[in-house]
């Protein structure tokens, strides 16, 4: 390998190139991993393997199907067949609650929504969902699943808007709070 190459030296040169390439790629990978770990130190929430981004959790939740057949008894029965997205069910519930219906007919639907929301969230976080409705008359809170406890300084949130059934805009806010008791984890 002194500058002249015989046919017999070709294998050694290829092997040397492969070793150098492998060593360089390992060095670069190690440097990148060390650099990335500086942003997620031991006190960082992202250092936890159970962290899930609130935007991703909310998107997955709103586009998940209900998965079970339900009948909501209002003035006329509303049948939820199970393949409806949760966003559609929230729009139906928002419209009914704004029309004066009580929350009682939606208890089973809200329980299903909460179960799905918890399955989308990380185990070490308790999810809370707040639904607001906005139209020409202003914005009003419609629903909270479950009721949000006060004063969570380490909470993380995400919001999404989508159109309601009669022209209003529905704003859904997801809040992820660290579980405060062992039964929540």
Q: Is residue 183 part of a domain?
A: no
What are the pLDDT digits (tens) for 94-132? Answer: 888 888 888 888 888 888 888 888 888 888 888 888 888
Do 152 and 68 share a domain, yes or no? yes
Q: Is residue 3 part of a domain?
A: no
CA neighbor of 67 nearest in space, from 90, 87, 85? 85
**Total domains, the chain:** 2
Residue 148: per-residue pLDDT = 66
Q: Is residue 130 part of a domain?
A: yes
Q: Is residue 47 part of a domain?
A: no
What's the DSSP call for residue 65? B
Do 57 and 140 share a domain, yes or no? yes
Do 142 and 72 share a domain, yes or no? yes
User: In this model, does residue 177 exceed pLDDT 60?
Assistant: yes
Do 80 and 106 share a domain, yes or no? yes
Phi and psi, residue 47, nearest 5°: -75, -20
CA-based torsion, 153, 111, 114, 180: positive or negative: positive
> For residues 34 and 171, which has the higher predicted lDDT (pLDDT)?
171
Do 124 and 156 share a domain, yes or no? yes
Query: What long-range pairs does 38-47 form, CB within 8 A, spacing at least 24?
Result: 45/154, 45/156
Do 78 and 135 share a domain, yes or no? yes
177 and 126 Cβ atoms separated by less than 8 Å = yes
Range of the domain at 59: 52-178
Q: Is residue 69 part of a domain?
A: yes
Q: Is residue 63 part of a domain?
A: yes
Q: Is residue 2 part of a domain?
A: no
Do 33 and 59 share a domain, yes or no? no
């Amino acid at each position: 390998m002194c500058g002249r190459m015989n046919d017999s030296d070709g294998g050694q040169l290829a092997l040397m190139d492969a070793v150098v390439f492998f060593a360089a790629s390992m060095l670069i990978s190690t440097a990148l991993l060390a650099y990335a770990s500086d942003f997620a130190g031991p006190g960082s929430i992202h250092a936890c393997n159970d962290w899930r981004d609130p935007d991703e959790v909310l998107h997955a939740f709103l586009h998940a199907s209900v998965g079970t057949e339900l009948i909501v008894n209002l003035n006329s029965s509303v049948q939820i067949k199970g393949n409806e997205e949760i966003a559609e069910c929230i729009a139906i519930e928002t419209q009914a609650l704004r029309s004066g219906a009580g929350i009682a007919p939606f208890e089973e639907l809200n329980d299903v929504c909460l179960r799905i929301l918890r399955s989308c969230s990380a185990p070490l976080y308790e999810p809370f969902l707040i639904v607001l409705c906005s139209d020409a008359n202003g914005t009003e809170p419609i629903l909270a699943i479950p009721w949000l406890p006060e004063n969570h300084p380490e909470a993380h949130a995400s919001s999404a808007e989508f159109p309601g059934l009669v022209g209003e805009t529905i704003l859904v806010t997801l809040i992820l709070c660290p579980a405060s008791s062992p039964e929540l984890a």
